[in-house]
């Protein structure tokens, strides 16, 4: 579904991605691990068209998408949940969700179906539907960001540090929603610092170091081989 081949990305004169290659199959959860500053978030931004690569290929369903505008990628079936969530803080929960619902071809029945599904997954959002997004807790804002992405009915979601700064109870809820999305055959590329969670929910894992993918294995293999995790992540 999604393939990166020898992707190079710069910020100004800083060479951030030095030839990143990875792939995500339909319905697959793929983890992207690495220490801070190795290029994980830049990889997601490059896929989503927020940063233009200087070399290599980014293909989605066989079509080259490198440099394509983010809104066009959203229409094609890619959704991005950024590290800082970027919800509309002055809009209500419902208004945030409508940014993904109010699009061409959506019937009222389908809108209601999607809303009911999200509210079933995130009951707290149903309770807070008239509350401004900026007044939600950090965990609730993260739920809203994921729910807003779900409104687009994406084929793949790029999740950037969804559990960062959250209480253990909220981390458990994020784990549950990743599992539910997996069951719905939504592909996920997950950037996370929480190694146990990543190994628990992922099918395969890539480990980055200094702008490159240094190791690739199934999550089961990495769960059984702590030496690799310690070598690259120090945990």
Span 21-37, pLDDT tens digits: 999 999 999 999 999 99
For 104-151, what is each residue's pLDDT tens digit? Answer: 788 889 989 999 989 998 899 999 999 999 999 988 999 999 999 999
Helix, strand, or coil (residue 217): strand
What are the domain boundaries of the chain? Answer: 1-77+158-235, 85-153
Instruction: Report the 3 state secondary structure along 165-212.
Output: CCCHHHHHHHHHHHHHHHHCCCEEEEECCCHHHHHHHCCEEEEEECCE
**Residue, of 235 and 222, whose pLDDT is higher:** 222
What is this structure's pTM?
A: 0.93
For 152-191, what is each residue's pLDDT tens digit? Answer: 999 999 999 999 888 888 898 889 999 999 999 999 999 9
Which pLDDT belongs to residue 235?
67
Q: Name 98's Cβ contacts closer than 8 Å, sequence gap at least 6.
A: none
Q: For residue 12, what are the CA distances in angstroms to 4, 54, 57?
A: 21, 11, 20
Which pLDDT belongs to residue 67?
87
Q: What is the CATH number of domain 1-77+158-235?
A: 3.40.50.300
* Cα radius of gyration rounded to whole Å, the chain: 17
Half-sphere exposure of 88 (CA within 13 A, CB side): 12
Which pLDDT belongs to residue 19?
97
Which pLDDT belongs to residue 43?
97
In angstroms, the CA 178 to CA 146 distance is 10
Strand order in the sheet with 63-64: 14-24, 2-11, 55-60, 63-64
């Amino acid at each position: 579904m999604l393939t990166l081949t020898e992707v190079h990305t710069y910020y100004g004169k800083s060479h951030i991605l030095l030839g990143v290659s990875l792939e995500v199959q339909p319905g697959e959860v793929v983890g992207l691990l690495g220490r801070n500053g190795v290029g994980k978030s830049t990889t997601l931004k490059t896929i989503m068209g927020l940063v233009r690569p200087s070399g290599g290929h980014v293909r989605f369903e066989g079509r080259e998408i490198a440099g394509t505008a983010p809104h066009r990628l959203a229409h094609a079936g890619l959704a991005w949940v950024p590290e800082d969530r970027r919800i509309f803080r002055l809009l209500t929960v419902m208004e945030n969700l409508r940014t993904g619902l109010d699009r061409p071809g959506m019937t009222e029945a389908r809108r209601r179906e999607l809303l009911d599904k999200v509210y079933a997954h995130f009951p707290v959002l149903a309770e807070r539907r008239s509350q401004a997004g900026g007044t939600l807790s950090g965990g609730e804002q993260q739920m809203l960001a994921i729910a807003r992405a779900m409104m687009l009915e994406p084929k793949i979601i790029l999740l950037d540090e969804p559990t960062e700064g959250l209480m253990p109870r909220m981390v458990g809820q994020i784990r549950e929603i990743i599992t539910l999305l997996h069951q719905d055959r939504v592909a996920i590329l997950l950037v996370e610092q929480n190694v146990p969670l990543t190994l628990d929910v992922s099918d395969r894992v890539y480990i980055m170091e200094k702008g490159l993918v240094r190791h690739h294995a199934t999550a089961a293999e990495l769960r059984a081989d702590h030496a690799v995790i310690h070598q690259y992540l120090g945990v």
